[in-house]
């Protein structure tokens, strides 16, 4: 029997709340396909600051490096908002991405049929929507040096650096081309090449790779236009590849098209080694602890983990099928209720939603 070691980092807010139910689904899927998943748990983000003083304790990083996959809930919350930049909970997540070399962030925006009415767009614009956003995750303005806040001419200035080297652009672009090959063969590279030098290089490097993938239709789009096109006619996209900050923004936009941020999973992959899986939603401090959070983004992240890191596609399929069945049966958490008249016994909380997925597994 194959055995997998999964390191679980619940983190803060609803991230921590959805983790227990998601781990239960993970174990049930393992039983079903006949593999074993050993779970260990650690601290990251605000809870790690409270317990150890650091958002990314050394033992957390060491354990993550040893694991086959990491499942993370979310980090951050108002309690830690006043901390200096380098001490904030978010640094824990950014530090993990960087230390584990997780340069490729896959954020699918897939609409489950019954949720079309929960989308902020008209049903016909989003029916059958299936986009994959590939976000570069370890470079760009998130990590560029120099950065800081300093005195210049008697006032404070804040600055960051948007920097991409050719090899960073090439490796994320290749992920884009390869995944486009497995999907509908269309890749749209998003940049701001009309203004930014780093984007000019980005566009040149991506274009130069196109000959290696004659079966992929490559296009380029400026990021402002891409934001507009995502809410105008989202189905024109198949795979989008873009830099760290543009991807952060566009993936939230794409998420909303599918009805709720509460539905979207993500995978962060390295060239080799451990992968990290997390819901795209944050820690939602406003509803944390109230059994209102939608656990499906984390449960679907578990499915991605089975597919991309643990090589158990049957477990991934089983989880995704169970989620689709629960939605087909009419069950909703608050965030995906939309304008529907949901029967009161079908409007469920975090635990009940996860239990329904377990039942359907």
x/- track of binding to ligand IPM for residues 234-273 (CB under 6 A)? --------------x-------------------------
Q: Are 145 and 112 in contact (CB under 8 A)?
A: no
- Among 68, 248, 320, 335, indicate the residue that binds Mg ion (CB under 5 A): 248
Which range of residues in 6-14, 90-98, 153-161, 224-232 is near ligand IPM by CB under 6 A? 90-98
Check binding of 93 to ligand IPM (CB under 6 A).
Answer: yes
Which whole-number Å values give the CA distances from 158 to 82, 146, 148, in the listed order?
A: 17, 11, 6
Q: Is 130 in the site for ligand IPM (CB under 6 A)?
A: no
How many Cβ atoms from other residues are within 10 Å of residue 28's Cβ? 17
Q: Which is nearer to ligand IPM, 90 or 217 (CB)?
A: 90
Quickly tell me which residue has 């939605």 as its tokens: 327
- Piece of the chain touching ligand IPM by CB under 6 A; list 21-29, 56-64, 88-96, 294-302: 88-96
Reply yes or no on whether 248 is catalytic. Answer: yes
CA–CA separation, 187 vs 176, rounded Å?
7
Residue 12 near ligand IPM by CB under 6 A: no
Letter string b/e over residues 55-68, b meaning 16 or more CB atoms within 10 A of that residue's CB: bbbeebbebbeebb
Residues in contact with ligand IPM, total (CB under 6 A)? 5
Tokens 């992929």 correspond to 216
Q: Give which of Mg ion, ligand IPM, none residue 291 binds (C-beta under 5 to 8 Å, depending on kind).
A: none
> Which secondary structure element, helix H or strand E, spans residue 189, and what is its range?
strand 186-191
Decide if 335 is catalytic.
no
Q: How far is the CB of 10 from ligand IPM (least distance, A)?
A: 15
User: Which among 248, 277, 306, 331 is annotated as catalytic?
Assistant: 248
Q: What is the bridge-based pairing of β-strands 3-11 and 36-41?
A: parallel
| Options 26-34, 247-255, 261-269, 284-292: segment touching Mg ion (CB under 5 A) | 247-255
Q: Where are the alpha helices (DSSP H) in the chain?
A: 13-33, 46-52, 58-66, 89-99, 123-126, 166-182, 197-209, 223-232, 244-257, 296-308, 313-328, 350-360
Our CB check for ligand IPM shows the closer of 76 and 139 to be 76
Which residue sits closest to ligand IPM, CB atoms considered?
Answer: 90
Q: Point out the catalytic residue in the list 130, 252, 291, 355.
A: 252
From the list 31, 197, 224, 286, the catalytic residue is 224
The answer to whether the CB of 298 falls within 8 A of the CB of 19 is: yes
Binding site for Mg ion (CB under 5 A): 248
Active-site amino acid positions = 142, 192, 224, 248, 252
């Amino acid at each position: 029997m194959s055995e997998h070691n999964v390191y679980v980092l619940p983190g803060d807010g609803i991230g921590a709340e959805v983790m227990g139910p998601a781990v239960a689904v993970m174990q049930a899927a393992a039983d079903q396909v006949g593999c074993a998943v050993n779970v260990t748990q650690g601290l990251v983000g605000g809870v790690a600051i409270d317990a150890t003083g650091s958002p990314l304790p050394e033992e957390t990083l060491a354990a993550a490096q040893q694991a086959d996959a990491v499942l993370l809930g979310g980090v951050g919350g108002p309690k830690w908002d006043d901390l200096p930049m380098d001490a904030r909970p978010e640094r824990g997540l950014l530090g993990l991405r960087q230390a584990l070399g997780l340069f490729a962030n896959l954020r699918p925006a897939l609409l489950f049929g019954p949720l079309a009415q929960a989308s902020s767009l008209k049903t016909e614009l989003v029916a059958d929507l299936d986009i994959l956003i590939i976000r570069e995750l370890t470079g760009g303005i998130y990590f560029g040096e120099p950065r800081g806040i300093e005195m210049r001419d008697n006032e404070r200035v804040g600055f960051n650096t948007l920097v991409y080297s050719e090899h960073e652009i090439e490796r994320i672009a290749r992920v884009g081309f390869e995944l486009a090959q497995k999907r509908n063969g269309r890749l749209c590279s998003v940049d701001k090449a009309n203004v930014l030098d780093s984007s000019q290089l980005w566009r040149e490097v991506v274009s130069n790779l196109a000959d290696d993938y004659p079966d992929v239709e490559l296009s380029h789009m400026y990021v402002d236009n891409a934001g507009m096109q995502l809410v105008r006619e989202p189905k024109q996209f198949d795979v989008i590849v873009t830099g760290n900050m543009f991807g952060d923004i566009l993936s939230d936009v794409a998420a909303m098209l599918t009805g709720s941020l509460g539905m979207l999973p993500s995978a962060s992959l390295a060239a080799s080694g451990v992968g990290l899986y997390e819901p795209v939603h944050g820690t939602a401090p406003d509803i944390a602890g109230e059994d209102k959070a939608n656990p499906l983004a984390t449960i679907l992240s578990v499915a991605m983990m089975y597919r991309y890191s643990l090589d158990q596609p049957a477990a991934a399929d089983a989880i995704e099928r169970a989620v689709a069945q629960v939605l087909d049966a009419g069950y909703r958490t608050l965030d995906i209720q939309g304008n529907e008249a949901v029967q009161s016994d079908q409007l469920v909380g975090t635990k009940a939603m996860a239990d329904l997925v377990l039942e359907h597994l």
